[in-house]
Amino acid sequence: MNRIFSTIAVLSVAILSMATVHSQTTANSQVPPLLLGAAWYPEQWPEARWDADLALMEKAHLHVVRVGEFAWSSMEPTEGHYDLDWLERAINLAGKHGIYTVLGTPTATPPAWLTAKYPETLRIDENGRRDEHGNRLQYDWSNAKYRALSRAIVERLATRFGHNPYVLGWQLDNEISQISTSDGAHKQFQDWLQKRYGTLDNLNTRWTTAYWSQSYTDWSQIPIPRRGGNPGLMLGWKLFVSDTWRGYLMNQIDVIRPHADARQFITTNTMGFFDGYDHYITEDVLDLAAWDDYVPNGKIDPVRNGMAHDITRGFKRKNFWIMETQPGFVNWSSVNVSLKKGDVRALAWHDIAHGADAVSYWQWRSALNGQEEYHGTLVGADGTPVPLYPEVQQIGAEFEKLGPVLAGTHVDTDVAMLHSYESRWAIEWQRHTDKFDPVAEMGRYYGPLHEATQAVDIVAPNVDLSKYKLVVAPALNLLTDADAKNLIAYVNGGGNLVLTARSAMKNGDNGLQPERQPGPLAALLGGRVEQFYALPEPVPVDGDLLHTKASIWAELLSTSSPDTKVVLRYGKSNGWLDGQPAVISRRVGNGSITYIGTVFDDAAMKTLTEWLLSEAKVTKSKLVVPEGVEASVRQGNGKTLHILVNFADKVETVTLPSPMIDEMHDKHTVREVVLPVSGVAVLSEPR
Ligand code: GLA
């Protein structure tokens, strides 16, 4: 993003100086490298109020607003009659206050005239009921008429704002997620399957439809799996859903790009761990990754939240945006607990630490009516600041001050974790033990890896992995042939690959691999999984490295190659496992492949990851922080920046391994940092 931003900055200056649009020159004619912002809905307020709101935003050092994503009825009050003048006035007025705009396409909320006239555009839910007007995301994402209507409004917007100097980029729709089981979607699914499988014979074989008499003799017989079904069918449906979302986004991108300056990015706001579709399929067509980061219970879990950041960063493998986050509290949980004083700031810096370049609050001010009257805001219904406002103002001032320091930096690491929606789905659909949660399993590895290295990438299994010394693939249950080839090439090229429990059991059709786990990687490993067991209680695991207990899942491993080493063995447990290998590892040239067949607790994971890191010759960070303090690194432009955030509930002192420059406090050189509760430090290594 920083590269994009510097381009934007240069272009913005050029465009602003030439501009003949009504826009006035902004106080800030350069886009700041770190942006703080809020969702602003000018259509909900009298125009006479706009300037006062924008002045309050400016005072809080906000430099971006997210506008328009629910405003279709204000933009196109009746079919084919557009009113975008108010929007242009709002964008340009914000620009006058030094505030740039991310323009939302309004397709998450079709207007009443649309759904009344074209009821076929409404989604059919899993129970066969047609959705109604009055909420949002009630459209059918596969419907051609809805696509045509969306295209028309989006093209209007692009034509009008594609060259507006204050518009930084586009957010398509909002939290895309709701799908439809309409007849139209069903037919498209059958056509999609025909394209994927070619013949019914091929599909029947690959899905093993002889099982339970599921064989199909006509494409039209293939159902939508509304309440479960054949794993091949279920995977096919999810991939169709993902491809249809990609088409849904492309429908809008196709009419934005020809009218928009290249500097304007196109994104959509995703939702962390949400797995309704394969985001690697959709993000491929976007320029920037962004997600909406909410902490409904008010208690930030830096490991889980950090992992969601890093998944999002991995979509485009570059810096990302927090498109929404809570000003204190949300309104949609069972108990909507506010973040404690100081934690909104802590969260903002934790975002930046993981590679965000923008943090935008949802929302600036509550609408006077509507479904979200209780949600946290930055100003009250009366239009004056809420108690959180000064904290946000502080963040804004810090972003302004430290923006130039962080410009051009990103997370750079030689440790990656693999993340696969297909594997998560495959496990979710056939858990075998409800205690095995694929996201929790990722967290078990992510926590200690991040603690040791302070920077971890999370990427899809099909990307070029050659830059990483260590790649950990937690529960990579479904392995396509192409991904298997990628992993084999990585190890043969000197990489260190770690597979964990439940790896490589399924093939690309979500069927069982014909070889035992890890399927196509078993030969490289010189070992395999003889059997898997769901554990009712912990079992002992021993070796030179560890004396501990494992739980939830245990795979009985074996070695077939003399150079595959047994690292840990099970102790006495269910008889089958007693004395058998639990962790095995094999050196392959300069690389290695390791299989960890069970689930360890946090203490054991710490030792195990230390071992994995040292085997892969990954240098651990020299900056050691007390428990509860998160340390992260951003690098670039010859700079190394350490960002420390204290999530512990007491003051913590961090002794630095070498003198560093305290970027927040007058660039003093420091050897020690005292972090109050929720405290933040941004330190740079002297060049
Ligand atoms: C989501 C939506 C927003 C808003 C917030 C409230 O993230 O995208 O429009 O409803 O939730 O938390």
SS3 396: helix
CATH number of 33-180+242-406: 3.20.20.80
What are φ and ψ of residue 332, in 5° steps?
A: -115, 5
Chain centre to alpha carbon of residue 240:
20
Write down the residue that tokens 């272009």 correspond to.
Answer: 11
pLDDT at residue 666, as a whole number = 85
CATH architecture of 415-615: 3-Layer(aba) Sandwich (3.40)
Residue whose Cα lies nearest atom 6 of ligand 1: it is 330
Whether 123 lines ligand 1, by a CB cut-off of 6 Å, is no
Residue whose Cα lies nearest atom 5 of ligand 1: it is 362
HSE at residue 580, side-chain half, CA atoms within 13 A, is 23
Give the Å distance between the CA of 370 and the centre of ligand 1: 13
Question: pLDDT tens, 464-498?
Answer: 999 999 999 999 999 999 999 999 999 999 999 99
pLDDT at residue 687, as a whole number = 87
What are φ and ψ of residue 187, in 5° steps?
A: -65, -40
Residues 6+ apart with CB under 8 A from 283: 270, 289, 315, 316
Question: pLDDT tens, 125-174?
Answer: 999 999 999 899 999 999 999 999 999 999 999 999 999 999 999 999 99
- Check if 324 is active-site: yes
- pTM confidence score: 0.95
Catalytic-labelled residue, pool 324, 441, 555, 663: 324
In this structure, are residues 182 and 126 in contact, taking their beta carbons and an 8 Å threshold? no
- Rounded to a whole number of angstroms, the distance between the first and last alpha carbons of the chain is 24
In this structure, are residues 74 and 43 in contact, taking their beta carbons and an 8 Å threshold? yes
Q: Quick one: DSSP state of residue 381?
A: T
The domain 629-684 belongs to what CATH superfamily? Golgi alpha-mannosidase II (2.60.40.1180)
Helix (H) or strand (E) holding 114: helix 112-117
Whether 174 lines ligand 1, by a CB cut-off of 6 Å, is yes
- Buried b / exposed e over 560-595, threshold 16 CB at 10 Å, is eeeebbbbbbbbebeeebeebbbbbbbbbeebbbbb
Q: How many CB atoms lie within 10 A of CB 646?
A: 25
Closest CA to 34 of 69, 13, 61: 61
Residue whose Cα lies nearest atom 7 of ligand 1: it is 292
In this structure, are residues 480 and 531 in contact, taking their beta carbons and an 8 Å threshold? no
How far, CA to CA in Å, does 516 sit from each of 438, 520, 574, 582? Answer: 20, 9, 21, 16
Residue 331 Cα: closest atom of ligand 1: 12
Whether 53 lines ligand 1, by a CB cut-off of 6 Å, is no
In this structure, are residues 141 and 180 in contact, taking their beta carbons and an 8 Å threshold? yes
Bond from prior residue into 46 cis (ω within 30 degrees of 0): no
Give the Å distance between the CA of 64 and the centre of ligand 1: 17
Q: Quick one: DSSP state of residue 460?
A: -
Whether 173 lines ligand 1, by a CB cut-off of 6 Å, is no
Residue whose Cα lies nearest atom 10 of ligand 1: it is 372
How far, CA to CA in Å, does 618 sit from each of 313, 513, 614? Answer: 21, 33, 6
Give the Å distance between the CA of 52 and the centre of ligand 1: 24
In this structure, are residues 246 and 226 in contact, taking their beta carbons and an 8 Å threshold? no
Integer Cα distance of 30 and 21 in angstroms: 18
Same CATH fold assignment for domains 33-180+242-406 and 629-684: no
Two structure tokens written together for 384:
């004056």
Give the Å distance between the CA of 112 and the centre of ligand 1: 21
Write down the residue that tokens 């074209």 correspond to.
Answer: 118
Write down the residue that tokens 């949802």 correspond to.
Answer: 362
Q: Which of 324, 337, 371 to mutate to test the pocket of ligand 1 (most atoms within 8 A of CB)?
A: 324
Give the Å distance between the CA of 558 and the centre of ligand 1: 49
Chain centre to alpha carbon of residue 18:
38
Beta strand 265-267 with 167-171: parallel, antiparallel or unpaired?
Answer: parallel
Integer Cα distance of 48 and 281 in angstroms: 44
Catalytic-labelled residue, pool 43, 69, 76, 175: 175
Whether 240 lines ligand 1, by a CB cut-off of 6 Å, is no
Residue 69 Cα: closest atom of ligand 1: 9
Whether 175 lines ligand 1, by a CB cut-off of 6 Å, is yes
Give the Å distance between the CA of 67 and the centre of ligand 1: 13
Helix-helix angle 438-453:302-316, to 10 degrees? 90
Looking at 338-388, list the stretches that DSSP marks H as alpha helix, in order from N- to C-terminal side: 343-353
Two structure tokens written together for 537:
């209680």
Give the Å distance between the CA of 325 and the centre of ligand 1: 9
Integer Cα distance of 240 and 659 in angstroms: 54
Whether 69 lines ligand 1, by a CB cut-off of 6 Å, is no
Provide the residue type at 204 as one letter: N
- Buried b / exposed e over 512-537, threshold 16 CB at 10 Å, is ebeebbbbbbbebbbbbbbebbebee
Whether 140 lines ligand 1, by a CB cut-off of 6 Å, is no
pLDDT at residue 206, as a whole number = 98
HSE at residue 452, side-chain half, CA atoms within 13 A, is 23
In the chain, domain spans: 1-30, 33-180+242-406, 415-615, 629-684
Give the Å distance between the CA of 102 and the centre of ligand 1: 16
- Check if 373 is active-site: no
In DSSP terms, 38 is beta-bridged to: 65, 361
In this structure, are residues 91 and 164 in contact, taking their beta carbons and an 8 Å threshold? yes
In this structure, are residues 36 and 63 in contact, taking their beta carbons and an 8 Å threshold? yes
List, run by run, the mean pLDDT of 10-residue segments along the chain (687 residues): 34 34 39 98 98 98 98 98 98 98 98 98 96 95 98 98 98 98 98 98 98 98 96 98 99 98 98 98 98 98 98 98 98 97 99 98 97 97 97 98 98 98 98 98 98 98 98 98 98 98 98 97 98 98 97 98 98 97 98 98 97 98 98 97 98 98 94 98 95
Q: Quick one: DSSP state of residue 648?
A: S
Rg (alpha carbons) of the chain, rounded to whole number: 26
